Structure 1
């Protein structure tokens, strides 16, 4: 039994297809199939039911796959122990970032990080929170930046910053004359929202009063762009809420439409999340130190109330 064989077993278990598993493992399909078969022969059990499409996992195979994940993770930890002992911070590191954070945060820290840690090959992927959680569990990404708290058993959360929500309210809107906003001022029926699947959308809904049946509105917006929401607000289609860092990019004319909340300001907690196994923790900590140091100077708000990224309405 070898670590490589276990890695191949995990690939087949994930993709339920020997050809695809081989492609993802960067080996030929005959090589992967032979090694999986060799392990099954050694153990004298069938891990996979090849008669099914997609490939099934036998009852004993499920237990073997679960143990294989532990063994492969622990084997990877040996390299981490050596790297940490040598003070080495380098190698491939896959970082996922949610779409509502990526455009503003990435330009702030990326150049500083790669300059400070040139031996790290940072691979960045924009994904939804749901995809990030799944990929952390499956070991496809090393860490992620997402809105928290998520309170998932196998994930550790390390807060990076607290980002207030800011209202974008044209003067013609019913709240246009207000100096500051309160959560009770909002009605979700006239708040322009991101499309379903964005945790920021759910956070906004959690701030607002109990929503009407949104399906009965005159139009339904399916957009993942804050710029689109701002432009629609300018056309008199409602108001919207923006993450604080996004407001820094607005021109001077649009900034006149910004309205801040009375303290405590509703805010989202943005954290670095990773698997509790803490593989490559030295790179994770380096990322956290760089990002926290940079963002701390950009967001001066202190009195905030954290809004859940999960829609509880």
Structure 2
């Protein structure tokens, strides 16, 4: 039994496909399959039910995978301990970022980070908050950038910045002539929202939760991107709320439709998060320092009201 065999097994368990797992392990599919077959022969047990599509774990396979995660994670920690002792900033660093943060924040820090830490192989994946939490717990990623608080005792949260909400209001909308928006003016049925799975949508719903005004719209529309929401709002189909960084690249004509909130404005808390047992702290610090340096000039807001991304019960 080898660590490599266990890593291949974990990859197949994650992707439920031998070919895709081999691609992520940077080996050929026959090589990966052969190593897993050798492991099954050594254990005298079938780990995967290959007749199922997608591939499923057998009952004993589920227990084997659980233990394999522990063994692979602990083997990685040996390398982390040595790197930490030497103060070495390098190696593979896997980071998840939620979709509503990735397009605006990543271009701000990626080039600077790569230049300052050329020995780090930064692997970035766009994930929902739910996927991030699961992958942090399972050890598939080292850190993530997400809206917080998450109220998970196993996850450490280090705040990067507070990003205010900004309204985009079409000219024919009832709130267009207001210089500043008030939270009490918002109607959840009057706002174009992101689709389910985006924590920014949950934050907006929480922001509007106490509003009692009845809806006047004859449709409900949700989209997967802010770009679509902006276009729909410009077409007069309703107002929408945007994170502040998403407003910076708008043209002057579109910016004329932006409305800030009265102080303190509602905002989301954006944090660098990682499992409490994470050992790659030198990489965590390097990433946080880099983001701190580039975000400081873009967001100067501190007097804000944090809106939780968690759905209130």
Gaps of 5+ in 2: none
Structure 1 residues 74-116: Cα deviation after superposition (integer angstroms, max 9, x where no partner) = 1111111122222221223232222211222122212221221
- Contact 1:195–1:201 (8 Å) recurs in 2: yes
Give the TM-score taking structure 2 as reference length.
0.85
Q: Is 1:230–1:240's contact at 8 Å kept on the other side of the alignment?
A: yes
Which residue number corresponds to residue 144 of structure 2?
A: 144
Write out aligned runs for 1:67-78 (5 A).
67-78=67-78
TM-score normalised by L of structure 1 = 0.85
Counterpart of 1:274 in structure 2 is: 274
Q: How does 1:144-163 map to 2 (within 5 A)?
A: 144-163=144-163
1:77·1:279 contact (CA, 8 Å) conserved in 2? Answer: yes
Query: Equivalent residue for 2:107?
Result: 107
Question: For 1:208 and 1:46, how far apart are their aligned partners in 2?
Answer: 52
State whether residues 186 and 211 of structure 2, in contact with CA within 8 Å, keep that contact through their aligned partners in structure 1.
Answer: no
Given the alignment of the two structures, is residue 294 of structure 1 paired with residue 294 of structure 2, yes or no?
yes
Q: How does 1:241-260 map to 2 (within 5 A)?
A: 241-260=241-260
User: Which residue of 2 is the match for residue 198 of structure 1?
Assistant: 198
After superposition, the C-alpha distances for 1:254-276 in whole angstroms (9 at most, x for unaligned) are 33332222232211111112233
CA 1:47–1:102: 2 relative to 1, 3 Å: closer
Distance 1:20 1:216, change over 3 A: farther
Matched, 1:131 2:131: yes
> How many Å separate the matches in 1 of 2:13 and 2:291?
36
> RMSD of the TM alignment (CA)?
3.0
Please state how far the C-alpha of 1:69 moved relative to its aligned partner: 0.8
Which stretches in structure 1 are left out of the alignment for 5+ residues?
A: none
- Aligned partners of 2:252, 2:88: CA distance in 1, in Å? 45
In structure 1, what is the Cα distance between the partners aligned to 2:44 and 2:226? Answer: 57
Q: 1:200-258 deviations in whole A, cap 9, x for unaligned?
A: 1121111114579x999534434333233233333332211111112222233333332
1:284 aligns with 2:306: no
Task: Summarize the Cα distance change of 1:120–1:26 in structure 2 as closer, same or farther, 3 Å threshold.
Answer: closer
Q: 1:46 to 1:107 in 2, by over 3 A?
A: closer
CA distance in structure 2 between the aligned counterparts of 1:297 and 1:265, rounded to whole angstroms: 19
Structure 1 position 180 matched with structure 2 position 183: no
Moved more, 82-91 or 29-38: 29-38
Greater Cα shift, 278-287 or 55-64: 55-64
- Structure 1 distance, partners of 2:100, 2:154, is 24
Question: Quick check: 2:194–2:225 contact (8 Å CA) kept in 1?
Answer: yes
- Once residues 234 and 51 of structure 1 are traced to their aligned partners in structure 2, the CA distance between those partners, rounded to angstroms, is 51
Structure 1 residue 138 displacement after superposition = 4.1
Partner of 2:237: 237
